[in-house]
Amino acid sequence: MQFLAGWFAHPIFKNGDYHEVMKTRIRERSLAQGLTKSRLPEFTESEKQRIKGTYDFFGLNHYTTVLVYNLNYPAAVASYDSDRGVASVTDRSWLGSGSFWLNVTPFGFRKLLKWITDEYNGPPIYVTENGISERGAVNFNDTWRIHYLKSYINEALKASLIDDVDLRGYAAWTLMDNFEWAVGFAEKFGFYYVNRTDPSLPRLPKASARFYAQLISCNGFPDPANGPHPCLEPEPEAPVTPPGTTPGLADSVRFLGLDLTSQSAEIALYVLFALSGIGALGLVLFSYKYGKRFKRAQSHIKLSKM
């Protein structure tokens, strides 16, 4: 854990420096490889003081858990895995996903939240990403995503209510299918499917979108023992506008001080526009006629003077 979460968290939440286990292992392997000093950069005392305690909360992205075991790599191998001296495996009984690295392991989520709390003296924690992917043709009945969210959020609740974890917030990944780094659009994490064959890119909700909206509306999981909860009732449908009517228009409107029906006011408005247009055209014709007469008068005056 010190080579993963601790790599970044230990300097900030503890003493401004990397954990001793990280410094010791990398220094020993660096010297064994013929180097004169550790490959891990060292902080100055001034930098340690600047880094230590510079946090407002612990932001956690979490998706899955793995099993690890000790593995002694040859001394000549210089890599992240060889420095930490472990390898990872997964249990074949764990449910998979659209990503080769992501298995459904909610028990690990609670353990990690508890570890962060114990290791860093109970900082406020915000889960900034948590979700599951899919591949292939879209399936709007994404029950596996609902199962994942139920399982992981329940473990987060246990961490908060039983383990005294200061969990302040949770954000699922993600609202809609998007570009997922090196795999592009092949792996989809969204509550909404984005039809990229349509130029307008319509967003279409999956079953998980309704589940998550209901979860937020209920602010958790209502206890079935208490009977039906109001938050589980379907939302009332929007009123249907009768054919031939325009939403939002009143039966009567005030137009130039008169009470008119919507239709009459519309006709009056068109008539007003027409009259305005005729007036403008008349003004142009008048100006044109007046201009010609003025030029003729000017010419007559000049001829008279000659």
Catalytic residues: 129
Q: Which residues pair with 194 in a beta bridge?
A: 203
- d(CA 218, CA 220) in angstroms, rounded, equals 5
Q: Which residues pair with 61 in a beta bridge?
A: 129
Residue environment code for 8-44, b if the CB has 16+ CB neighbours within 10 A, otherwise e: ebbbbbbbbbbbeebeebbbebbeeeeeeebebeebe
Half-sphere exposure of 150 (CA within 13 A, CB side): 11
- d(CA 101, CA 181) in angstroms, rounded, equals 14
Name the packing angle between helices 143-161 and 106-119 (round to 10°): 30
Q: Which residues pair with 260 in a beta bridge?
A: 253
The CA-atom distances, in angstroms, between 121 and each of 11, 61, 85 are: 14, 19, 27
CB-count burial class (<10 Å; 0-12, 13-18, 19+) for 154: middle
Quote the tokens at residue 185.
């659009």
- d(CA 80, CA 50) in angstroms, rounded, equals 26
Rounded to the nearest 10°, the torsion over CA 206, 211, 213, 214 is: 150
Give the count of beta carbons closer than 10 Å to the beta carbon of residue 191: 24
Half-sphere exposure of 252 (CA within 13 A, CB side): 5
